[in-house]
Chain A
């Protein structure tokens, strides 16, 4: 027996306990109280159903009704996602503002996808085709950059009975499929429960680099399409700027940005900036490929817990179309804290630092939804979903549970360092502690497609930086003057790599994005100086003039060379050689 309504018996912050919901399942959505607040069942003990409520619960009390919906928390997928901004449970924030005002009022509800917009559906499949779930029935030009593919929903495989060009809103029928269970009408919306990953045919190891235009990342700690990365760092070390830079410049076709429990003004920043920034590849505004989920820190904590799942389900949907998708989650620590808060209210036995014992498995489950895959459908198209999570460890302490649970599953670690940030070295990614397990994949790709010296240069740069760190210890004890001349030259080269290559200004128009070509040219110029200078030193040149060459100022400014004038790097190298050659020898 099942009922469709129950009664509240307990309210404690975002947690409500109700009775009489017989038949309700775990993670089913319910509406709580007269205000019909959104909630989700997260625990069932006998007749007591614990519900996490996505809105402020003031004014809810025992005796008030709880309504079942019979559905798990799900998102709407279809044309209209691109350029949208949603809260953690996919309510469209722009529409809420238009209809309900500048503050989010309780019980406000609007469909996630615009019903009024008319789309042009262009069929790809033909009448009589055998189709399976994931097969593309037709396309809709959703934005200048995104061709939205309307796919056969799960469980709706069969023979196409009817299909044709259609103009209509997302609820308009675009095809009819004769399935085993009879004819199924297909429109442009799918619904998908967020806590369940969307299926793929097959997962494969990543092979292509995900470039970001950030020199320290692309060159030293690269990311791959379909990979996972995390950016932990104390506050003020520039996590959010790194995430924004990735959202702006990642060479993926779709970007999903999840602002999870972070600042409202940061989301505004993205909203205001993205329409004006141009994608370096297509020249179109970045907004044309972006979906945003914003559940800022002051918005209800339970919706924050859901926001990460809402974001990743949307990302998976685009991946299923065969696109490369990147999802940035800022910050997964806030997500973990939301879990901790709910867990505490459920009076669960806590694990480390009050976090629930299932923290590790939840985090692993989230990152495992990434990947480079063969999508569902019979055409064997490939898509990728890359995940980049920011982590905000308390006090910058990397031994805390969220960082540790994340490091167990991610392949790239960009460790932000507040000491670098204080010295205004940005991005403040520490080159000694960070790592990337995609280095080999990316080296292979770049050696082949870009510059055969890629791997060699990268390894030399890393070695110089490592050696510099060792020498610095020594300098701290005995002073710079005590170093041998070639070590001092090495210190100089390492400093140039740090200041003239790794240091990158996100707010400078020219410096904000660097192509791989320019990156390798810039690094090659610095190494060229080091090689020539070392040779000169061996041939009897004096150290000090070598360290004070005027041409080094040009090297320092070489990062501002325009992308269409990379020829200047060859001239620069020539000038470096000439300047060193002209020094007197003894």
Chain B
């Protein structure tokens, strides 16, 4: 079949172009857009109505004129050529190599939208991943196949934390194949360079695939980036039996690109101008994490997003929180205290922790210790607030103990070095040491047998 070229662009609105007199076009089809000066761009059909087609241009429409573009419809959706050779390579936001290396010879072409995983085929994530970070391992345990985002704000060290996780993440088993996929959406050159340099320094680049859409790259391309990354991840996980950790940063930029298109289409907006289908759209990204029964590989996601004004109820973190299995919150006040990683423990949560910890996975006392640390820290923080209003003298003796506990908790448990890799035993031991500051009778959330075994002996 000869594919026809159309010169019938009638409207250009924001990142969209409208063509007329087209035929045989289908929804979601990929298009080649050629300018008369030879420059090529790519687009995707967003709507077909009779003989009209609405196309979103990934590289944006600046410089386009209705008179000098030719549009070719390719008869298929956006596909990524995948191969195991992608490991160690850097691609742009469209999946083209930008590291100067040879082009990839694909083993196969996959539609980047994927298909939803059958819930019946899913295997429950329950394998503990040790990140070497106490606040995550002991309190917000990450497991294979989970999606656990970092909720951060501008200027906070989420990139350093994400890189540390990528560097240190191991499973308490050996001999498994492991890969990291890094998808940058609209982040700055400096931020991306930080990751690349870190991957190169530690040798992690050998087992990494990088997709780069930087702040000055076309915004609309950001819509494709996470899908490319996850398509590569699915290939490596389910066909090459690798355990893949996918880092997506920064989802806020992705959502803004989505809003831009929605606005250009004059859709009825949901909250704060974001489209009503933002939840559905995000879920088609996040839900691609997981494990499949009978397959070795897995996809674990760490999406990073910066909350506008540190507001957790903003639609992006809010909808993300409803889809992902928990969240790790990076806190500005704790960062201001000079504590790294500034994880705000109380509102952070890993929903899958209960299945990944305990006997045979981490340690039998883990769940109890976790609950006790939480509640003791929460009580200490409360008492501290009270002391601010009423003065320290208003606190009971026990409350003063809790205040001391929570300070020590932040200083020793939360704080750790950027290259300090604590084993889960070390993290739990540290937890017990801190709980030793409280009288035994206060440890209501721990079974007696564990207290007998682990509670620090005085004197």
Q: Do A and B bind each other?
A: yes
CA distance in complex: A236, B351 (Å): 8
- Rounded to whole Å, the gap between the CB of B231 and the closest CB of chain A is 12
Known: A298-B287, A392-B322. A61 touches B26 (CB 8 A): yes
B327 at the A/B interface (Cβ < 8 Å)? Answer: yes
Residue of B nearest to A507 (CB): B354
**Which residues of A from 8 to 42 have beta carbons under 8 Å from B?**
9-13, 17
A contact residues around B386 at 8 Å (CB): 475-476, 479
B323 at the A/B interface (Cβ < 8 Å)? Answer: yes
B contact residues around A395 at 8 Å (CB): 312-314, 318
| Contact in complex: B352, A265 (CB < 8 Å) | yes
CA distance in complex: A477, B267 (Å): 50
CA distance in complex: A353, B271 (Å): 7
Q: Of B24, B321, B327, B394, which contacts A481 at CB under 8 A?
A: B394
| Contact in complex: B124, A265 (CB < 8 Å) | yes
> What are 27 A-B pairs at a CB distance below 8 A?
A10-B47, A10-B50, A11-B48, A12-B47, A12-B49, A56-B115, A58-B28, A58-B111, A62-B23, A103-B118, A104-B115, A105-B115, A234-B321, A235-B318, A236-B321, A261-B283, A263-B323, A264-B119, A264-B122, A265-B122, A265-B352, A294-B120, A300-B116, A338-B280, A423-B346, A477-B389, A479-B390
B contact residues around A104 at 8 Å (CB): 115-118
A contact residues around B271 at 8 Å (CB): 353, 394
- Rounded to whole Å, the gap between the CB of B286 and the closest CB of chain A is 8
A93 at the A/B interface (Cβ < 8 Å)? Answer: yes
B51 at the A/B interface (Cβ < 8 Å)? Answer: yes
A60 at the A/B interface (Cβ < 8 Å)? Answer: yes
> Chain B CB within 10 Å — which of A85, A479, A480 has the most?
A479
- Rounded to whole Å, the gap between the CB of A263 and the closest CB of chain B is 7
Known: A394-B318, A424-B378. A102 touches B118 (CB 8 A): yes
- Rounded to whole Å, the gap between the CB of A330 and the closest CB of chain B is 11
B284 at the A/B interface (Cβ < 8 Å)? Answer: yes
Known: A96-B120, A297-B323, A395-B318. A62 touches B28 (CB 8 A): no
- Rounded to whole Å, the gap between the CB of A8 and the closest CB of chain B is 9
Q: How many chain B residues touch the partner (CB < 8 A)?
A: 81
Mask, B341-353, CB within 8 Å of A = 1, is: 0000011010110
- Rounded to whole Å, the gap between the CB of B2 and the closest CB of chain A is 18
B326 at the A/B interface (Cβ < 8 Å)? Answer: yes
B contact residues around A17 at 8 Å (CB): 49
B contact residues around A507 at 8 Å (CB): 354, 367
| Contact in complex: A236, B115 (CB < 8 Å) | no
B-side residues, CB < 8 A to A, are 23-29, 46-51, 77, 111, 113-125, 145-146, 238, 267-271, 276-277, 279-280, 283-284, 286-288, 290, 292-293, 295, 312-315, 318-319, 321-323, 325-327, 346-347, 349, 351-352, 354-355, 367, 371, 374-375, 378-379, 386, 389-390, 394, 396, 441, 444
B contact residues around A350 at 8 Å (CB): 268
Known: A354-B270, A424-B378. A556 touches B444 (CB 8 A): yes
- Rounded to whole Å, the gap between the CB of B244 and the closest CB of chain A is 16
| Contact in complex: A354, B121 (CB < 8 Å) | no
A378 at the A/B interface (Cβ < 8 Å)? Answer: no
| Contact in complex: B283, A297 (CB < 8 Å) | yes
A574 at the A/B interface (Cβ < 8 Å)? Answer: no
Mask, A124-135, CB within 8 Å of B = 1, is: 000000000000
B contact residues around A62 at 8 Å (CB): 23, 25, 48-51
Stretch at the interface among A75-83, A268-276, A313-321, A563-571: A268-276
The 7 A-B pairs with the shortest beta carbon distances in the complex, nearest first, are: A395-B313, A58-B28, A61-B26, A297-B283, A479-B394, A298-B287, A103-B115
- Rounded to whole Å, the gap between the CB of A242 and the closest CB of chain B is 13
B contact residues around A475 at 8 Å (CB): 386
B contact residues around A344 at 8 Å (CB): 267-268, 276-277
CA distance in complex: A298, B319 (Å): 13
CA distance in complex: A300, B25 (Å): 22
B contact residues around A424 at 8 Å (CB): 371, 374-375, 378
| Contact in complex: A59, B27 (CB < 8 Å) | yes
| Contact in complex: B116, A296 (CB < 8 Å) | yes
A contact residues around B355 at 8 Å (CB): 269
Q: Of B118, B122, B145, B389, which contacts A476 at CB under 8 A?
A: B389
| Contact in complex: A298, B389 (CB < 8 Å) | no
Known: A340-B276, A341-B280, A354-B276. A267 touches B119 (CB 8 A): yes
B contact residues around A268 at 8 Å (CB): 119, 122-124
B contact residues around A476 at 8 Å (CB): 386, 389
Residue of A nearest to B448 (CB): A557
A334 at the A/B interface (Cβ < 8 Å)? Answer: yes
- Rounded to whole Å, the gap between the CB of B186 and the closest CB of chain A is 23
- Rounded to whole Å, the gap between the CB of B233 and the closest CB of chain A is 14
Residue of B nearest to A92 (CB): B120
CA distance in complex: A337, B271 (Å): 12
| Contact in complex: B287, A337 (CB < 8 Å) | no
Q: Of A58, A85, A264, A481, which contacts B290 at CB under 8 A?
A: A264
B contact residues around A484 at 8 Å (CB): none
A358 at the A/B interface (Cβ < 8 Å)? Answer: no
Q: Of A93, A265, A422, which contacts B125 at CB under 8 A?
A: A265
A contact residues around B374 at 8 Å (CB): 423-424
| Contact in complex: B375, A63 (CB < 8 Å) | no
- Rounded to whole Å, the gap between the CB of B144 and the closest CB of chain A is 11
A280 at the A/B interface (Cβ < 8 Å)? Answer: no
| Contact in complex: B325, A263 (CB < 8 Å) | yes
